Amino acid sequence: MKSINSIATLFFITSLLLLLHNMIMPCDAQLSPTFYNPTCPNAVSTIRTSIRRAISRDRRMAASLIRLHFHDCFVQGCDASILLDETDTIQSEKTAFPNVNSVRGYDVIEAAKRDVERICPDILTLAARDASVYVGGPTWTVRLGRRDSTTASRSQANTDLPSPFVGLDVLISAFANKGLSETDMVALSGAHTLGQAQCFLFRTRINSNGTDIDRGFASTRRRGCPQNGGDGNLAPLDLVTPNSFDNNYFKNLMQRKGLLQSDQVLFSGGSTNRLVSDYSRNPRLFASDFANAMVKMGEIQQQSKMES
């Protein structure tokens, strides 16, 4: 079985690789798929091995790493700022509401970083790409050469990362603010074909008796998510193929079986209905658009940073 957690891991590590390397590179360095070839030719394969080792121990880690990468890129761009711990001068993004007791995989990134530093000082965006391939998902060309961040922004993490309770218009706006289109947003949401969510994030939805949720699906979910307590109980985002990178997430939405409110709004009569329908019928289209969106997300704010 395949897990999207791998994708996250690999993509995040690739970014980290880039960021660490940037600390010793000129300020005008440009992103390039071959950025590390002259200085660290074994970096990519070293990262890939480290990520695969982590996912083989914990299949859920693939989804966790993709989410980790998303939560990094959506704040200050893909600069690994989410990895910074609390200090006298830094309010760590790890303690922002969307991240605290939720985001995981930091130890996997640190392990990959240590492996790479044995041969050269680098790591972060190749991880996601390699993870995707490892679990049967798409591949894409990663342009390397990012700069590591020395600052974090807890306040920005709290405001920029979209909530699982918001409506379609808010989601579209949040992604547009990062230079990502509706197509990018829907494709990236497809990462929820893997991974799990905590009970408190979907409790209201499964007890709403709303017309946008299948009654049998809601009843099944309530078994592991009581009205009171059990906030941290986990449920797979895709009940049918929770460990496979496929397009079943979109089929679920068309059946009103999206676990999170922010999932189901993608198929609720709005402008994204067509994309959900297309991806549910055409897994190759989904894989292609997902890969393209991952490339775009991996380069959020990078051009402005290169020119600064």
The whole-angstrom separation of Cα 270 and Cα 274 is: 9
Annotated catalytic residue within 21, 69, 71, 192: 71
3-state class (DSSP) for residue 235 = strand
Contact 198, 98 (CB under 8 A): no
DSSP-derived 3-state class of residue 198:
strand
Determine whether 192 is an active site residue. Answer: no
SS3 for 221? helix
- CA 52 and chain centroid, separation: 17
Q: What is the DSSP letter of 84?
A: P
Tokens 């970014």 map to which residue?
A: 15
Sequence-ordered list of residues with C-beta below 8 angstroms from that of 236, at least 6 positions apart, any chain: 195, 196, 242, 259
CB atoms within 10 A of CB 48: 21
Rounded alpha-carbon distances, angstroms, from residue 212 to 34, 123, 172? 47, 42, 19
146, two tokens: 């990012």
Q: Which residues are catalytic?
A: 71
